[in-house]
Amino acid sequence: MKHMNAVPTLIDAAASRSDPATTAVLETRYRDLWRIRRFEERTMELFKKGIVKGTAHSCVGQEAIAVGACAALAPGDTIVTHHRGHGHCIAKGADTTRMMAELLGRETGYGHGLGGSMHIAALDRGVLGANGIVGAGIGIGTGAALAAQVLESGQVCIAFFGDGAANEGLFHEAMNLAALWRLPIVFLCENNGYGLSLGVAEASAVPQISQRAAAYGIPGETIDGNDVLAVESRTAVAVARARAGEGPSLIEAMTYRWGDHSMRTNLPRYRPEAEEQYARTEGDAIRRLGQVLADRQVGQERLAALQMEADDEILAAIEVAQAAQEPAEDSLAAAVSSPHAGAIEPERGERRLFYVEAIREAMDQELARDSRVVLLGEDVGKIGGLFGCSKGLQERHGRNRVRDTPISENAIINAAVGAALTGLRPIVELQFFDFVTHMMDGIVNQAAKLRFMLGGAVPMPLVVRGPQGGGIRLGAQHSQSLEVWFAHIPGLVVLAPSDPYDAKGLLAAAVRDDNPVIFLEHKLLYVNSQSAVPEANYIVPIGKAAIKRSGSDITIVATMAMVDVALSAARDLAAEGIEAEVIDPRTLRPLDTETILASVRKTSRCVVVHEAWKTYGFGAEISALIMEEAFDYLDAPVERIGMRGVPMPYNAELERLMIPNAQDVIAAVRRACEGGRP
Ligand SMILES: Cc1ncc(C[n+]2csc(CCOP(=O)(O)OP(=O)(O)O)c2C)c(N)n1
Ligand SMILES: [Mg+2]
């Protein structure tokens, strides 16, 4: 290829060339190249007519990588692809009719019309999904490889990504993680010379992406991505290495996209015309394989017939897809979340545990109960976590399932997503919830979206848990209460237990749930008090609030550490003759609105208290809910208590001032009881 520099080849060259393919096999490859090209060309036509909407990213010019790489895989192996992913899906066996139906937004599409071009997955063919987030597949593929390793399935994953994606932090984190754990994955970079308009030389400090493999101690090489046979044979070497347990490889396949970045873009020229011309003529993978076949005496007629077969398939796919139904509106809600398990609640018994012990026991029992459960996180293994939540779990369940991870939150969460997609049920521990900023894409764009975008049939069983909140003078980056970030997002479950009993039962529910669960612990609660916790495993149902104290004069809705604060205030208020009902929602999403509304309809007054900032907080949500659903029952405005709008200060006295206390609750209750309507 024209823009390909020589780089050291780290993969054993002698083993690289498989037996010369038979002519029949070459003909299959030739037809597959055409199937992809025709799919893309027809998609472009449909886009121009306004029939394919949104956008799509044509892979014309890059077909050889898809065909060659997927030919090196076994049917049970997996791939993760990206925005320019139609070719990979086709090469891995996805049904072109269902793919086309998805592009047309039809019910029969792979995502039932909810995902679109950038989110096609065919799980039955090992296609774990394309992605609209550049680089995400690198981490998701790492997770699929982790699942293959833990479950000993023998599967190998190829993660396809572009040269632009190689500059995402996730590339480096995932490469290191996969190398460290010797995961069965091939990182296959499709270097088409540009990330949107920016040339590789303007985006990468080293000329070839493959050079970066050396930094992670894995083989890396640059190959001609427009030679389908070279791609197949070189990928086969990397796949064999992965399958043998020797770990990942990085292959950089040089190629060129013929068209613009996407069908929608209409950019000013940013590539030299000669370069484009070369790619479309001498560089063309189809022309090159056609020449190989011609050298083997395959005539032009036969080549034309293979091309025609591809064309016929795609035309038929369009016809069937166009005749299919549009998705119905009622498919929307069902696609967002999987149903939750019901309660299993034995007698509470006499035994008392601290919150941290309850968390540990839930994880211990779930790890013992289900071999698909794994625990991943920083320092969770050898030392049992910074707060001791996983103490002893690595000894009991082994290093394979309780894994100390490098400090790579982005890779950990994306790997958890990939692992959840392929059979594991990961629990991810965040050392402090503040660090979730490094996980936001994995949580919000991947975990929360995949079920929906893939049409509602995909389980995403993963738990992200860890401590939040203030009270131990750790300052502004280790003390935040961030629950509303997650409670805002459809597709996530958000749990926030306030006592040991709920902590154990809700964590068991979280691990068994098929949705991504954000499980918030409060570091002040870990060892502040004990409560009765059954030894048997049990489930506190997701979406059910707890009435922690009954009362008839006012409802106090409190979360996490504020539940104890509210209960203490309620005891003092009782002395004044005010009986407060204290409700702990426990689940912030889905919220048990009925329990809250029933209480407010009874008491006619409500105070909401949480540690998180008041502005745009959970209290605003509850207040609005009551206004919408129970306004006529109110005798006073709903009061909200939360932290004032400053980051958590380090100074002990100032920190104490920031966090709502019982006096704040009492004052608000008095205001609500004294004021209001006659
Ligand atoms: C995280 C993220 N940043 C930016 C974008 C917008 N975007 C979509 S594709 C693309 C270029 C990606 O380049 P590359 O990885 O080389 O893939 P190519 O398009 O060349 O196939 C950009 C900037 C995005 N979708 N996600
Ligand atoms: Mg690119």
Say what the pLDDT of residue 15 is: 45
**CA 601 to centroid of ligand 1, rounded, Å:** 52
Say what the pLDDT of residue 8 is: 37
Say what the pLDDT of residue 442 is: 98
Atom 3 of ligand 1: nearest residue by CA position? 134
Say what the pLDDT of residue 223 is: 98
Whether pLDDT at 627 is above 90: yes
For 574, phi and psi rounded to 5 degrees? -60, -35
Q: What is the mean pLDDT of the chain?
A: 96
Q: Which of 409, 521, 611, 639 is catalytic?
A: 409
Say what the pLDDT of residue 3 is: 42
| Ligand 1 pocket check for 259: Cβ under 6 Å | no
**Residues whose Cβ atom is located within 5 A of ion ligand 2:** 162-164, 192, 195
Say what the pLDDT of residue 10 is: 42
- pLDDT tens, position by position, 88-125: 999 999 999 999 999 999 999 999 999 999 999 999 99
Amino acid of residue 157: C
Say what the pLDDT of residue 677 is: 52
Number of H helices, E strands in the chain: 23, 21
| Ligand 1 pocket check for 387: Cβ under 6 Å | no
Amino acid of residue 563: V
8-state DSSP, 157: E
| Ligand 1 pocket check for 165: Cβ under 6 Å | yes
- pLDDT tens, position by position, 365-380: 999 999 999 999 999 9
Q: Which band of pLDDT confidence, cut at 50, 70 and 90, is reported for residue 320?
A: very high
Atom 7 of ligand 1: nearest residue by CA position? 134
| Ligand 1 pocket check for 164: Cβ under 6 Å | yes
8-state DSSP, 539: B
User: Which ligand approaches the C-alpha of residue 164 most closely?
Assistant: 1
Count of positions (residues) in the chain: 678
Q: How far apart are CA 318 and CA 326, in angstroms?
A: 15
Say what the pLDDT of residue 265 is: 86
**Atom of ligand 1 at shortest range from CA of 196:** 11
Report the percent of the chain where pLDDT is more than 70: 97
Q: How far apart are CA 241 and CA 145, in angstroms?
A: 13
Whether pLDDT at 298 is above 50: yes
In sequence order, what are the residues at sequence separation of 6 or more whose Cβ sits closer than 8 angstroms to the Cβ of residue 347?
A: 534
Class of domain 338-532: alpha beta
| Ligand 1 pocket check for 118: Cβ under 6 Å | no
| Ligand 1 pocket check for 195: Cβ under 6 Å | yes
Nearest to 324 by CA among 119, 129, 97, 125: 97
Q: What is the mean pLDDT of residues 216-239?
A: 98
Q: Which band of pLDDT confidence, cut at 50, 70 and 90, is reported for residue 675?
A: confident
Q: 20-24, 173-177, 285-289, 292-296: lowest mean pLDDT where? A: 20-24
| Ligand 1 pocket check for 130: Cβ under 6 Å | no
Q: What is the mean pLDDT of residues 34-62?
A: 97
CA distances from residue 317 to 17, 52, 92, 307, 584 in whole angstroms, order as listed: 36, 14, 17, 16, 53
Tokens in use for 535? 């030894």
Q: Which band of pLDDT confidence, cut at 50, 70 and 90, is reported for residue 21?
A: confident
**CA 164 to centroid of ligand 2, rounded, Å:** 5
3-state secondary structure 406-444: CCCHHHHHHHHHHHHHCCCEEEEECCCHHHHHHHHHHHH
Say what the pLDDT of residue 20 is: 66
In the annotation, is 409 catalytic? yes
Say what the pLDDT of residue 18 is: 47
Q: How far apart are CA 456 and CA 331, in angstroms?
A: 8
Half-sphere exposure of 557 (CA within 13 A, CB side): 32
Q: How many CB atoms lie within 10 A of CB 45?
A: 12
Whether pLDDT at 9 is above 80: no
| Ligand 1 pocket check for 613: Cβ under 6 Å | no
**Atom of ligand 1 at shortest range from CA of 262:** 19
Instruction: Compute the C-alpha angle 517/130/78, nearest 5°.
Output: 85
User: Which ligand approaches the C-alpha of residue 166 most closely?
Assistant: 1
User: Which ligand approaches the C-alpha of residue 61 most closely?
Assistant: 1
**CA 162 to centroid of ligand 1, rounded, Å:** 8
Identical fold at 32-323 and 546-674?
A: yes
**CA 647 to centroid of ligand 2, rounded, Å:** 40
Whether pLDDT at 225 is above 90: yes
Say what the pLDDT of residue 676 is: 60
Q: What is the mean pLDDT of residues 53-80?
A: 97
Q: Do the strands 546-549 and 580-584 form a parallel or antiparallel pair, or are they unpaired? A: antiparallel
User: Which ligand approaches the C-alpha of residue 131 most closely?
Assistant: 1
Whether pLDDT at 16 is above 90: no
What is the DSSP track for 315-327? HHHHHHHHHSPPP
**Atom of ligand 1 at shortest range from CA of 83:** 9
**CA 132 to centroid of ligand 1, rounded, Å:** 8
Whether pLDDT at 390 is above 60: yes
| Ligand 1 pocket check for 162: Cβ under 6 Å | yes
CA dihedral of residues 165, 169, 173, 178 (deg, nearest 10): 0
Query: 668, 661 in Cβ contact below 8 A?
Result: no
**CA 444 to centroid of ligand 2, rounded, Å:** 25
| Ligand 1 pocket check for 163: Cβ under 6 Å | yes
In the annotation, is 478 catalytic? yes
Q: Is the pTM of this model over 0.85?
A: yes
Q: What is the mean pLDDT of residues 513-519?
A: 98
Q: Which of 397, 478, 522, 610 is catalytic?
A: 478
Half-sphere exposure of 369 (CA within 13 A, CB side): 14
| Ligand 1 pocket check for 194: Cβ under 6 Å | yes
**CA 187 to centroid of ligand 1, rounded, Å:** 17
CATH architecture type of domain 32-323: 3-Layer(aba) Sandwich (3.40)
User: Which ligand approaches the C-alpha of residue 66 most closely?
Assistant: 1
Atom 13 of ligand 1: nearest residue by CA position? 195
Q: Do the strands 185-191 and 249-254 form a parallel or antiparallel pair, or are they unpaired? A: parallel
Whether pLDDT at 205 is above 80: yes
Per DSSP, the three-state class of 186 is strand
**Atom of ligand 1 at shortest range from CA of 261:** 19
Helix, strand, coil: what percent of the chain each, to 5? 45, 15, 40
Say what the pLDDT of residue 266 is: 84
Q: Locate the domains of the chain by residue range.
A: 32-323, 338-532, 546-674
Atom 5 of ligand 1: nearest residue by CA position? 134
Q: Does domain 546-674 have CATH number 3.40.50.920?
A: yes
| Ligand 1 pocket check for 137: Cβ under 6 Å | no
- pLDDT tens, position by position, 598-608: 999 999 999 99
**CA 166 to centroid of ligand 2, rounded, Å:** 9
